Amino acid sequence: QVQLVESGGGLVQAGGSLRVSCAASGRTFSTYTMGWFRQAPGNEREFVAAITGSGLTTFYADSVKGRFTISRDNAKNTVYLQMNTLKPGDTAVYYCARKNTGSSYYYTESYDSWGQGTQVTVSS
């Protein structure tokens, strides 16, 4: 198992920006696709973005495409989520996760390790 620790959440006004980070333990970070998910109160955890181990390929949920950017720094064992033009609907706990199966990046079942989450609140 890998340990994942998110940071960088906070309170921001609508239209603002925020970057959240996820630091991973271990020496095989660059071999795994990493994902970001979010969960708002009363809702199921939903896919936000994913990035392959090399960083060359990214995937986004339609709701964040064009506003969010996922990236990674394998030398630092860290994955980032840059969030721009934030909306109140983006308010949620954001989780990073490590993908360990060949199944779709879209599903939580494809990921075997999760961070504790970081709260992002967007005020109107």
Neighbours of 54 (CB within 10 A): 11
State mean pLDDT over 36-65.
Answer: 97
Give the separation between CA 74 and CA 71, rounded to whole angstroms.
10
- What is the DSSP secondary structure assignment for residue 102, as one 8-state letter? S
Give the separation between CA 98 and CA 52, rounded to whole angstroms.
10
pLDDT confidence of 1, banded at 50, 70, 90? confident
Burial annotation 96-113 (CB, 10 A radius, 16+ → b, else e): bbbbeeeeebeeeebbeb
Decide if pLDDT at 26 tops 90: no
State mean pLDDT over 97-112.
Answer: 93
pLDDT at 103: 85
pLDDT at 45: 98
Average pLDDT, the chain: 96
Length of the chain: 124
pLDDT at 81: 98
pLDDT at 19: 98
Strand 10-13 and strand 118-123: the pairing is parallel
